[in-house]
Amino acid sequence: MRTEAPVAVQLSDYTAYPFEIEQVDLRFDLHPDATLVRADLKIRRTGAADAALELDGEALELKSIAIDGAPLPESAYELTESGLTLQDVPNAFTLVTEVEIAPSKNTALSGLYMSGGRFCTQCEAIGFRRITFYPDRPDVMSRFTVRMTADKETYPILLSNGTPGETGDVDDGRHFAVWDDPHKKPAYLFALCAGDYDVYRDQFTTMSGKVIDLAIHVDKGDADRAAWAMDSLKRSMKWDEETYG
């Protein structure tokens, strides 16, 4: 929990972020005490030629860092308790970082943490910086692809933003799931859950006749309590179609 006093941010002080994060590819190897997070950031300079790349990051143990496949020496970046700064970067490049975090010890409940034996995230307003190094500000928008791996028996359901993709089993009783979100979003909207849930399922038929599968994931034993939420979801989808086409 944060205890420091909030700092006023004035509109007059605003400056645009000097880089565009075109694509974010995240890989999570989920373990309660030591989760590894690999982030591949496709970056393009949009600001001043001498602008440094400044990334937010808190409670992250940096394991490796590379640009376009070439590992960086410690002299190439500045690592502090609040982030990572690289002074001399190309105009277009891919930055790859690997960090270790401890969800079971994250009592701030910001970023990736454990709750009820499950992995959960809370990224609003500035929690994503506790997951990986990233410009954790609402005006930086990007597309996210996520691949997560976890113990299959303990965490049979793996969820994130966007459209579900490939799934499968890997070694040591673990499995994986891929999620792809094609719509640009700020980091505070990122979400990930891994655990054992009951699922309340239904379908919605659009005006064009397309059938959409719907699912609400709830605590074990609470599936029968999700009917109202599902009905509300279907009514809102119907209203959206009728109102906006």
* Same domain flag for 115 and 222: no
Look at residue 8 and tell me if it is in a domain: no
Q: Is residue 36 part of a domain?
A: yes
In a domain, 11, yes or no: no
Q: Is the pTM of this model over 0.85?
A: yes
State pLDDT tens for residues 56-65. Answer: 999 999 999 9
Residue 104, token pair as written in the block: 């079971």
Mean pLDDT score, 80-90: 98
Q: Are residues 164 and 125 both part of a single domain?
A: yes
* Geometric angle at alpha carbon 59, from 57 and 63, rounded to 5°: 80
Model confidence at 101: pLDDT above 80: yes
Here the CATH number for the domain that contains residue 134 is 2.60.40.1730
CA distance 108 to 73: 32
Please say if the pLDDT value at position 4 is more than 80. no
Q: Are residues 150 and 229 in the same domain?
A: no
Report the C-alpha gap between 191 and 121 in whole angstroms.
6
139 and 121 inside one domain:
yes
Q: What is the pLDDT of residue 29?
A: 99
Does residue 109 sit in the same domain as residue 230? no
Between 82 and 5, residue with greater pLDDT? 82
Same domain? 116 vs 24:
yes
Same-domain pairing of 233 and 141: no
Say yes or no: 176 and 211 in one domain. Answer: no
In a domain, 237, yes or no: yes
List the CATH number of the domain containing 232.
Answer: 3.30.2010.30
Q: Return mean pLDDT, the chain.
A: 97
Same-domain status, 86 and 22? yes
180-236 pLDDT per residue, tens: 999 999 999 999 999 999 999 999 999 999 999 999 999 999 999 999 999 999 999
* Residue 7, domain member (yes or no): no
Please check the confidence at residue 2 and state whether its pLDDT lies above 80: no
What is each CA distance from 217 to 29, 30, 176, 235, in whole angstroms?
22, 20, 18, 19
Residue-number span of the structural domain to which 204 is assigned = 198-244
Secondary structure of the chain in HEC code, one letter for each residue: CCCCCCCCCCHHHCCCCCEEEEEEEEEEECCCCCEEEEEEEEEEECCCCCCCEEEECCCCEEEEEEECCEECCHHHCEEECCEEEECCCCCEEEEEEEEEECHHHCCCCCEEEEECCEEEEECCCCCHHHCCCECCCCCCCEEEEEEEEEECCCCCEEEECCEEEEEEECCCCEEEEEEEEEEEECHHHCCEEEECCEEEEEEEECCCCCEEEEEEEECCCCHHHCHHHHHHHHHHHHHHHHHHC
Instruction: Tell me whether residue 50 is in a domain.
Output: yes
Peptide bond into 51 cis (omega under 30): no
The whole-number pLDDT of residue 3 equals 65
